[in-house]
Amino acid sequence: MLHEELRELKTLLESHSYSYREEEPFTLASGRKSHYYYDAKWVTLGGRGQRLVGHILFRLLRELGGVDAVGGLEIGAVPMATAAAFASELEGHAIPAFIVRKQEKTHGTMSKIAQGRGEDGSTPIAAGRRVAVLDDVVTTGESVERAIERIEAHGAKVVAVVVLVCRTEAHGRQNIENKGYDFYAIFDAHERDGGKLHLSKELARFLQVPA
């Protein structure tokens, strides 16, 4: 079933989120140029995408074990985090979601992080808590690093970074791993073949599904 869900998610991303331009390359958030572009929110904000992403993320988080919360920097991580939180509730193992704001609130609590409380009313981003950081598409890894910095400032421990699509040409995976974090991509995309998606080797190995 998991392999079928991964295959369906891959098809959705390639048919709904993927664009390619030969003559006028896209400018990425990192400032780099690329002939292909994934806007994963076309899938992650849809009902079917939410179901698939949520279930796949929950399976991964369950295998990781001991994850107290899941989330990342707005906006790409937001639908992924809420999907994972909802899927975890349906599976009887609730994992709250959190959102790292790009800009601090100027009213109310002026919090840098929005978060759902655990079933016991506890705050998931706090000293000693174990969290997984999400992002939809990673190129250089700068957005993930910004999220990690704010999370660790609250005393929480980042036990894994999980991304939907890793663009391999800018070494985002290596940049994050070199800082000591475990990195899991669901899919890899390569500039050399126009951004076609491939199930990542680490995910296939970790969840024991065919690559």
pLDDT in tens, 52-96: 999 999 999 999 988 999 999 999 999 999 999 999 999 999 999
CB distance 8 to 55 below 8 Å = no
The residue ranking higher by pLDDT, 18 or 112, is 18
Domains held by the chain: number: 1
pLDDT in tens, 153-200: 999 999 999 999 999 988 899 999 999 999 999 999 998 888 899 999
CATH of the domain at 197: 3.40.50.2020
Range of the domain at 201: 2-207
**52: Cα separation from own chain's centroid:** 13
Give the list of residues 6+ apart from residue 104 with CB closer than 8 angstroms, or none: 110, 111, 112
**Burial classification of residue 120, based on how many CB atoms lie within 10 Å of its CB (0-12 exposed, 13-18 middle, 19 or more buried):** exposed
Residue 119's pLDDT is 72
What Rg do the C-alpha atoms of the chain give, in angstroms?
16
Please tell me the pTM assigned to this model. 0.92
CB distance 53 to 85 below 8 Å = no
CB distance 26 to 17 below 8 Å = no
